[in-house]
Amino acid sequence: MEATLLDPRMFRIVAAAMALAAFVGLNALVLVYLERKIAGHVQRRPGPFEVGPHGLLQPLADALKLIGKQLFRPAGADALLFWMAPVVSFIPVLPLFLPIPFDPDLVAMHVEPGLLLILAFTGINVLALCMAGWGSNNKWSLLGASRAVAQSVAYEIPLLMALLAVTFMHGSLNLSEIVEAQGAWPWQWNAFIQPVAFIVYFTCAVAETNRAPFDLPEAESELTAGFHTEYSGMGFGLFFLAEYANMIVVCAVATALFLGGWQGPFFSGWWWFLAKTYALLMVIIWFRWTYPRVRFDQLLNINWKWLLPLSMVNLMVTALVMKLF
């Protein structure tokens, strides 16, 4: 790839990166508002109502509060690790959005092994949890961090195998190609051709992003907020932002791989992509306020005894069907 500093391709990538950063920021604000409103209505109360009409400016108030809080770290905590952890949690989020096809020509970067990029950078979040847990010099944080790591590492395996089944079918790791191989109508989407893979992927994705009912590592009523106990202000804000951004990435990947991406029955375009991604995000938020939290041994049981064999059988059946028919 011959490239000089002032190549038009460089401008395109820089512009795309800035647009994606803005997208992530705006989405985080919208998601915070949606989460609290939906939580409120599910619990038969109005949710945020004071700040702005119907509480619309609540996320801005939250952001201002987080930015304004004093940053302090506990005595005895390793300064380097403590402050690196939120940064390491947030930085991999931006490369995650690069291969995602919002529109046929709205892809930040055409990466051949695009799916592999997403999987690789999703695994970095686990490191941030380790560093936060260890660097906090707090046994509850360490316990929360080790639970989070065990959970993340365990749920990566069925996730990889479910995605592998989709890759088998289309013979490519490139997200744009997989989107184009699906049709416009719902029955042509991968979710109908590979329902097991879709359900396994979605469940594992919810567990990977530490969302309820799998949110034991950051459980507010259990380990005093787990690995991010000792973080205040912007440190907590970065973890929080990274969690919402991971949610968006996971739903965007599910949309691209299983729900036909930007294709729709009429007027295909990026609005379909956003609509489908938001539908999945609402489902995730819905899960949080509907299901009770899963106990830790139950959580690992679900993975090793149900999701892993299910995804392996799905993979074998996919391979058999592809070879024989």
Partner 1 sequence: MEILARLVFGFYAALIVSGALMAVVERGLVRSLVGLIATMFGVAGLYMLMAAPFVAFMQILIYVGGVSILIFFSIMLTKARPTGDEAKGRPLRKRFNALVTALAAGVVLASVILKFPIPSLETPRQVSGQQLGEGLLGPYLLPFELISVVLFVAMAAAVALAWQQWGKSK
Q: Which one, of 233, 171, 304, 241, lies nearest residue 24 by Cα?
A: 241
Residues 170-209 binding partner 1 (CB under 8 A) are 173
Closest distance of CB 216 from partner 1, Å: 18
Using the rule CB under 8 A, which residue among 24, 111, 200, 256 binds partner 1? 111
What is the rounded radius of gyration, in angstroms, for the C-alpha atoms of the chain? Answer: 20
Cβ atoms of residues 114 and 125 within 8 Å = no
Closest distance of CB 96 from partner 1, Å: 12
Residues 230-289 binding partner 1 (CB under 8 A) are none
Q: Please identify, using beta-carbon distances, which residue of 148 and 259 lies nearer to partner 1.
A: 148
Binding mask 70-109 for partner 1 (x = CB under 8 A): --------x-xx--x-------------------------
Contacts 24+ apart (CB under 8 A), 191-196: 191/258, 191/259, 193/169, 194/165, 194/166, 194/169, 194/258, 194/314, 194/318, 196/162, 196/310, 196/311, 196/314
Using the rule CB under 8 A, which residue among 20, 126, 159, 250 binds partner 1? 126
Residues 158-177 binding partner 1 (CB under 8 A) are 173
* C-alpha distances out from residue 148 to 279, 291, 313, Å: 27, 19, 27
- Based on the shown chain and the rule CB under 8 A, indicate whether residue 312 belongs to the binding site for partner 1: no
What is the C-alpha separation between 147 and 55, in angstroms, rounded? 35
Binding site for partner 1 (CB under 8 A): 1-5, 78, 80-81, 84, 111-113, 116-117, 119-121, 123-124, 126-127, 130-131, 134-135, 142, 146, 149, 153, 156, 173
